[in-house]
Structure 1
Amino acid sequence: MLRAQRAARPTAVRIDGIVKSFGGACAADGISFEIERGTIHALLGGNGSGKSTTIKILAGVYQADAGAIEVAGVRHDARTFSPRQAWDAGLRFVHQQQTTFADLTIAENLAIGHRFETSAGGRVRWRAQHRRAQQVLDQFGIDADPRDELAHCGIATQTMVAIARALQGVEQGDERVLVLDEPTAPLPPGEVRLLLAALRRFSRDGQTILYVTHRLGEVVEIADQATVLRDGSVVGRLDEGEIDHDRLVELIMGKRVQAVLSQHTRARRGDVLLECDDVVGGPVRGASLSVSAGEVVAVAGLLGSGRSSLLRLVAGDLRREAGAIRLAGQPVDFSGPRHATDAGVAYSPEDRLASAAFLDLSVRDNIGIASVGDYFRRGILNHRAERRDARRLLSEFWVKAASTEVPLSTMSGGNQQKALLVRWLRLHPRLLLLDEPTQGVDVGARAEIWQLVRNAVDAGAAALVVLSDFEELVEVCDRVVVLSAGRTVAELDCDGLSDGVLEHAVLSAERAAA
């Protein structure tokens, strides 16, 4: 551990009796907790626990039905707390969906969060602007040039720029509070370490951080305190010496949860179902692999390695330039994901909410959109049969929803993920192509999603997946194919493989390709 034990400190933020309901459903039921100044405080909970609601009330996006928010000793009515009040109180938020501008330079991004250096005539004084931006980069230990376009920086650097933009101008004794919502979700392991090291440094310098994440290992590593929510209420508060993975899981789930998937029996391979031979397209410049019925194979690599693009090539979502793809021994060249679906290939993209979810439509519509043709008889849609099957599928696949008719947007993130997976599993596909299927979901939903995938694979399907979390990858997969610069560079059996060994293999491949 790199942290030192700290004595109790003054309170930076106090959440007091927050209550919030949506259409009769209680999302927050008297939530109260305190964040000490100069500490990293983790806020945890499963999907639907009230965590996101609490953060949005703290940001002034939602107004509470009751309760108060106290920042630096100033008490605010949570029923009227606004984004302007949150800003004036010193609350700064960096959300999982980045609010930086990739096509602008670092200096321009920092100026948008603060001010542009201008002359009396209103023209930007770029030399002064770059000088001030460099001072901010130096303050936050960011190794980059102010003139760099943000899109050309690593994801960790982009996240650090977002944090620097939120905190720039902080002076010693400033009581600003940084709220980070899933900041490491898109980061590979090496960049996660860089960000966590920076957060520890900020905390040692007196910065207060509220850290929201599903990654419990990070909480164990850096948090000074942790508050756990379940069903809209606080169920536990742990101090540094009490924080461990099993205790966090037990509080989040309300019961002891075994690592379902670390215990699974390694697959017995059936016939080869998918073969990719020297496939070229987009950033993929020569990828080869095979996946057999009865196994889960992962594609690993750093961002830009071509891992997601390879799944898109197989699904027909990206044009193949060269090489061969065979399904059950037959060459295929799908014109798009719909064509692939007809052949028994189900593709779930990384950004499901933007690319595959219909948030304003009902759960029934979302899980049935690929099967709606089954319910037409003589040109008439049999709504009764569709609703009956939807109720059965929600129960069969452990999807929690108030009814089949509620909008998908009203469900927790984990249940949205499962509902979209049900869309494909109900078709009994031969091949599952899953890009980050558990990103942003809690430990319980993650276990259920992988159990659903494993059930399909045990029944004779095959799965090719992309996962950024190497610890999760070695738990749930049978083999891993490593890509670097769009090429297959290694294949490893996951039996006995550690995430550290896998990370070393990925990083070594990157160094060799550089």
Structure 2
Amino acid sequence: MALEARGITKVFPGTRALDHISLTLRRGEIHALCGGNGCGKSTLIKILSGVLQADSGTVLLNDVDIDVTQVKPAQVHELGLRVVHQDLAVFPDLSIAENMMLGSGYPVARGRIQWRETRRRAQAQIDRFEIPARPENLLRDLPVGTRAQVAIARALQDVSENRGIVILDEPTASLPSHEVELLLAAIRRLAAQGHAILFVSHRLDEVLALTDRVTVMRDGRVVARHETAKLNESELIESILGRRADEIGMRHSARPLGNPVLQTRGLTAGPVTDIGLEVRAGEVVGIAGLLGSGRTELLRSICGDLPKKSGTVVVNGKRAEFRRIDQAIGAGVVMIPEDRPRGAVFPDLPVNDNLDVGVLGRYWRWSGFRNAAMRRDDAELRTRFRVKSESGSVQMKSLSGGNQQKVIIARWLRRDPVLLLLDEPTQGVDVGARADIYTAVREVTENGGAAVVVASDLEELTLNVDRALVLRKGRIVAEVTGADLNVHRLTELIYADDAKSGDRDG
């Protein structure tokens, strides 16, 4: 047995995060840890890795007993445990090479760092994981998905002994399918060499395709254990949520579309070139493309966060010359970015303050804020969007990623936007929260608004958008609707050779 945890309990003020959790992990096994946002997965992983200390319980790690009330990261690292956390522990102001060497140690000769060897080693990992960057690139200049690849490569680079234990907490959350397959292949090789893998992912297709066993958590407890070979997706969803998969089904627009909400003509900004698109009231349009295709920059150029070189943007029939995001917000255009910690969340403020920040003017009177009305509306929003929180006064950073995302969406939907721009809205979010988020998006479209969604998960796009545009090298190369809106067709178009791109595929 590589790892055996028994009776792990952790209580935070106001909540029991873990309640007598037990988990076993065998050598040569890929074991999935599943559960909804806030179920306790990340807390358990942080305890196993020594980042947090449990209140009680025992852990046997590679035949060594560990006191989990006093465990330290260096202790479990020495015993062969490696972790890639959901909140990536990368250093944005350092290069890829420097981030890599912080994981394995710099090559040193005669008291000096050997930079040529440092870059050579980093390049070897870049080639191994097909990271679209160079050793000298700073992490802050890379997309979130590329940063995730660097963090994973750093964690895996020095796991060579067959007694290694690798914990991957949402490693594929921001990766498109090509990079995901490369990573999953590397994980399978590690398991075949005798390493033990604890794999956390909200992408249930990955869980079913990759793992040997599944442990399911809900509300801080283990509620089910499965042999993956005897499990299907519907059964796993029911196990995670406590309700049937058909109760959270996704949906497309069933209403006639209205007038154009968004129109762009010849829009050129950053890597995007000559973009012409139209999104009508009642419609959710998906954007599919690889990292670097310009999909994020397209959204940023529409809302004024990225200066455009040429072209026009029209919102509800009026030309929009947004130069700042606040101008777009004033016109009813809201963008929810991919990088939540840097672009949308105020982690040290209470949940209620995060909900209120976009609508403070509504509650201001000459005598001060109408605090009672604001708190009442906050409570209604938390209930409506199923935000799992002890109260509105807890800090935002204490919520899981999925619950933070629901707070962000609730904040902006409170403004009754006419156009939602969403960049990876369900990254790191469980299947139940994902359905809640798209239900909220549909509320906007059913009330006469529109939405544009960028998502790496092609299955998510096909289930939730009315049509999809394929972006390649900054240009729209295809439009997919109806029966053609499926994962296979989108994959073909995303990876097609330039010579085959042709005109739009209607």
TM-score (norm 1): 0.90
State the alpha-carbon separation in 1 of the partners of residues 149 and 389 from structure 2.
37
Greater CA deviation, 107-116 or 500-509? 107-116
Contact 2:131-2:150 at 8 Å conserved across structures: no
Matched, 1:68 2:58: yes
Structure 1 residue 510: Cα displacement: 5.8
Cα 1:84–1:424 shift into 2, 3 Å? same
- Closer, same or farther: CA 107–495 of 1 in aligned 2, 3 Å: same
Q: Shift of the alpha carbon at 1:266?
A: 4.1
Q: Are the equivalent residues in 2 in contact too, given 1:18–1:66 (CA < 8 A)? A: yes
List per-residue Cα deviations over 1:279-326 (Å, max 9, x = no partner). Answer: 011121221111000010011111111111111111111111100111
**Structure 1 partner of 2:262:** 274
* One-letter code aligned to 2:13: G
Does residue 199 in structure 1 map to residue 187 in structure 2?
A: yes
For the Cα contact (< 8 Å) 1:43–1:226, is it kept in 2? yes
- Does the 8 A contact of 2:125 with 2:157 survive in 1? no
Determine which of 154, 163, 166 is the counterpart of 2:155: 166
SS in 2 for 1:447: helix
8 Å contact kept, 2:350–2:392: yes
2:105 maps to what in 1? 115
Query: Quick one: which of 114, 118, 124 aligns to 2:113?
Result: 124
* Equivalent residue number for residue 339 of structure 1: 327
Q: TM-score, normalised by structure 2?
A: 0.91
1:20 aligned onto 2:10: yes
For residues 305 and 441 of structure 2, what CA distance do their matches in structure 1 show? 22
Q: Report whether the alignment pairs 1:256 with 2:256.
A: no
Aligned counterparts of 1:290 and 1:461: Cα–Cα separation in 2: 13
Report the CA distance shift for 1:334/1:509 in structure 2 as closer, same or farther (over 3 A). Answer: farther
Q: Is 1:52 aligned with 2:52?
A: no
Alignment-mate amino acid for residue 498 of structure 1 = N
Q: 2:485 aligns with which of 497, 503, 513?
A: 497
Q: Distance in 2 between matches of 1:357 and 1:160?
A: 23
- Counterpart AA for 2:210: I
CA displacement at 1:410 relative to structure 2: 2.4
- Deviation at 1:363? 1.8
| 2:91 maps to 1:95 | no
RMSD over aligned CA atoms reads: 2.7
The sequence identity of aligned pairs, in percent, is: 45
Question: Of 278, 284, 306, which aligns to 1:290?
Answer: 278
Partner of 1:308: 296
- Cα deviation for residue 274 of structure 1 reads 0.4
Residue in structure 1 matched with residue 368 of structure 2 by the alignment: 380
Give per-residue Cα distances to partners, 1:315-347, cap 9 Å, x unaligned: 111111100111122111112221112111122
Give the counterpart letter for 1:112 in structure 2.
L
Cα deviation for residue 408 of structure 1 reads 1.8
| Cross-structure match for 2:224 | 236
Q: How big is the shift at 1:364?
A: 1.7
In 1, Cα distance between equivalents of 2:409 and 2:144: 27
Q: How big is the shift at 1:97?
A: 4.1
Corresponding letter in the other structure for 1:318: L
Q: How does 1:336-415 map to 2 (within 5 A)?
A: 336-415=324-403
**Paired residue for 2:21?**
31
Task: After superposing the two structures, state which structure 1 stretch, 45-54 or 200-209, moved more.
Answer: 200-209
Other structure's SS at 1:113 match: helix
DSSP-derived class of the 1:424 partner? helix
Matched-pair contact (CA < 8 Å) for 1:13–1:72 = yes
Partner-residue secondary structure (3-state), 1:464: strand
1:451 to 439, 443, 454: 439
Is the 1:102–1:150 contact (alpha carbons within 8 Å) kept by the matching residues of 2?
no
Distance change >3 Å, CA 125–CA 373, structure 1 → 2:
closer
Q: 1:209: Cα distance to partner?
A: 0.9
> Does the aligned pair in 1 maintain the 2:252–2:465 contact within 8 Å?
no
After superposition, the Cα gap between the structure-2 partners of 1:128 and 1:390, relative to the gap in structure 1 and judged at 3 Å, is closer
Q: 1:418 offset after TM fit, Å?
A: 1.1
Which residue of 2 is the match for residue 5 of structure 1? none
CA drift of 1:95 comes to 2.5
Q: 1:255 to 1:117 in 2, by over 3 A?
A: same
Q: What is the aligned residue count?
A: 499
Contact 1:91 1:176 (C-alpha < 8 Å) held by counterparts:
yes
The offset of 1:243, in angstroms, is: 2.9
Indicate the SS of the match to 1:290: strand
1:167 is displaced (CA, Å) by 4.3
> Matched residue of 1:258: which SS?
helix
**What's the counterpart of residue 84 of structure 1?**
74
Counterpart CA distance in 2 for 1:81 and 1:413 is: 26
Distance 1:378 1:451 in 2: 37
> Does the CA-based 8 Å contact 1:227-1:236 persist in structure 2?
yes
Assess, with a 3 A threshold, how the Cα gap between structure 1 residues 354 and 199 changes in structure 2: closer, same or farther.
same
Give, in angstroms, the shift of residue 277 of structure 1. Answer: 0.9
Q: Which runs of 5+ in 2 are unaligned?
A: 502-506
Equivalent position SS for 2:404: helix
Deviates more, 1:379-388 or 1:227-236: 379-388
Change (3 A) 1:302 1:494: farther
Distance 1:394 1:127, change over 3 A: closer
Closer, same or farther: CA 358–326 of 1 in aligned 2, 3 Å: same
What's the CA shift string for 1:161-191, capped at 9, x where partnerless?
A: 644543445555x312111111111111111
**One-letter identity of the residue aligned with 1:31:** I
| Structure 1 match to 2:215 | 227
Deviation, 1:358, is: 1.2
Alpha-carbon distance, 1:400 to partner: 3.0
Checking the alignment, whether the CA contact within 8 Å between 2:304 and 2:322 is kept in structure 1 is yes
Query: What does 1:133-212 align with in structure 2 at a 5 Å threshold?
Result: 137=125, 141-142=128-129, 148-149=135-136, 162-172=151-161, 174-212=162-200
Output the CA distance in 2 between the equivalents of 1:133 and 1:439. Answer: 27
Matches of 1:328 and 1:130, distance apart in 2: 51
Could you tell me how far apart the structure 2 residues matched to 1:147 and 1:308 are?
21
Aligned equivalents of 1:113 and 1:415: distance in 2? 31
Task: Please report how far the alpha carbon of residue 123 of structure 1 lies from its aligned counterpart in structure 2 after TM superposition.
Answer: 2.6
